[in-house]
Amino acid sequence: MIKAFIFDLDGVITDTAHLHFKAWKWLASEKFGIVIDENMHEQLKGLSRMDSLEKILAIHHLNQKYTVKEKVELTTTKNLYYRKLISDITPRDILPGIVELLEEIKGSSYKLALASASKNAIAILKSLDLFQSFDFIADAAIVKKGKPAPDIYLLAAKGLSVAPENCIGIEDAVSGIQSIKHAHMFAVGVGDKRLLHEADYVVSKTEALTLPNMMQAWNNSLV
Ligand code: BG6
Ligand code: MG
């Protein structure tokens, strides 16, 4: 029986995924002279700040060139750039249908948690006026292994006191869907069906993400 919904943030609740990419694109060109493309955008989605940097450095086998301290400085520089991009975010930046969906979930007595890899998640939720909507927000800073590991989704389920098999996770990233599946939850993808083929159910955009659709898909998965 489904008792809870666990949401990713960037690219599901608000369209910040492309802003992360814009900031990485800037850093890669500015600091390493690397041009990163759309394909890399998909691969970076969902990854922690440091895992994203390592992936970019790996393009030209530069991972060993920088010390841990230098890498931390590079991620901080990216984050400062990213913070500027999200400085004027408001509730108008919530993706279509999400406010109604969160209200419907809460109104139907399901529990609601956030499982974002972003250390900016709380600040963004506050800017979107959604901070109070969640029963639990999993803290990316205390999670040992980032997505695609299950840790953040398991932490969210634990925070809600709900067993993972009673949760539905919602994600826009391949690594995020893998994280949900590794946590043994029902995975809903938002985006391209071919990319998110490991999900149990995929919608192309947030407008199509409704409670009845998700419950129907979950019911169908039982037969
Ligand atoms: C995820 C994004 O939600 O958060 C990633 O999809 C990002 O692109 C990650 O790298 C970490 O975010 P932050 O805000 O802590 O740098
Ligand atoms: Mg995402």
Q: State what percent of residues in the chain have pLDDT above 90.
A: 96
Segment 106-123 shows an average pLDDT of: 97
Tokens of 33: 């002279």
Distance 17 CA to ligand 2 centre (A): 6
Distance separating alpha carbons of residues 19 and 23, to the nearest angstrom: 6
Catalytic residue among 10, 37, 129, 192: 10
Helices (H) and strands (E) in the chain, counts: 9, 6
pLDDT tens readout for residues 161-220 = 999 999 999 999 999 999 999 999 999 999 999 999 999 999 999 999 999 999 999 999
Atom in ligand 1 nearest the alpha carbon of residue 11: 6
Return the ligand 1 atom nearest residue 176 CA: 6
Query: How big is the chain by its Cα radius of gyration, in Å?
Result: 17
Alpha-carbon torsion, ordered 171, 189, 179, 73, to 10 deg = -40
Cα(155)–Cα(147) distance, integer angstroms: 12
* ipTM exceeds 0.95: yes
User: What is residue 62's predicted lDDT score, i.e. its pLDDT?
Assistant: 86
DSSP state of 135: S
Length of the chain: 223
pLDDT tens-digit map of 133-160: 999 999 999 999 999 999 999 999 999 9
**Rounded distance between C-alpha atoms, residue 125 and residue 131, angstroms:** 5
Beta bridge partners of 186: 168
The answer to whether 135 is a known catalytic residue is: no
Confidence band of 54 (pLDDT split at 50, 70, 90): very high
Q: Write down the mean pLDDT value for the chain.
A: 97
Please say if the pLDDT value at position 90 is more than 90: yes
Catalytic residue flag (residue 151): no
Q: What is the C-alpha to C-alpha distance for residues 75 and 49, in angstroms, rounded to an integer? A: 6
DSSP 136: E
Do residues 171 and 191 make contact, with C-beta atoms less than 8 angstroms apart?
Answer: no
**pTM for the full model?**
0.97
The stretch 96-112 carries a mean pLDDT of 97
Burial 112-141 (b: 16+ CB within 10 A, else e): bbbbbbbebbbebbebbebeebbbbbbbbe
Confidence category of residue 110, pLDDT binned at 50, 70, 90: very high
Is the pLDDT at 36 greater than 90? The verdict is yes
Q: Which residues surround ligand 2, an ion (CB under 5 A)?
A: 8, 10-11, 172-173
pLDDT band at 60 (very low <50, low <70, confident <90, very high): confident
Residue 18's pLDDT band, with cuts at 50, 70 and 90, is very high
d(CA 179, CA 156): 12
Orientation angle between helical segments 68-85 and 17-32, nearest 10 degrees: 130
- Show the ligand 1 pocket: residues with CB < 6 angstroms: 9-10, 17, 20, 44-49, 52, 79, 116-120, 173
12 or 60, which is more confident: 12
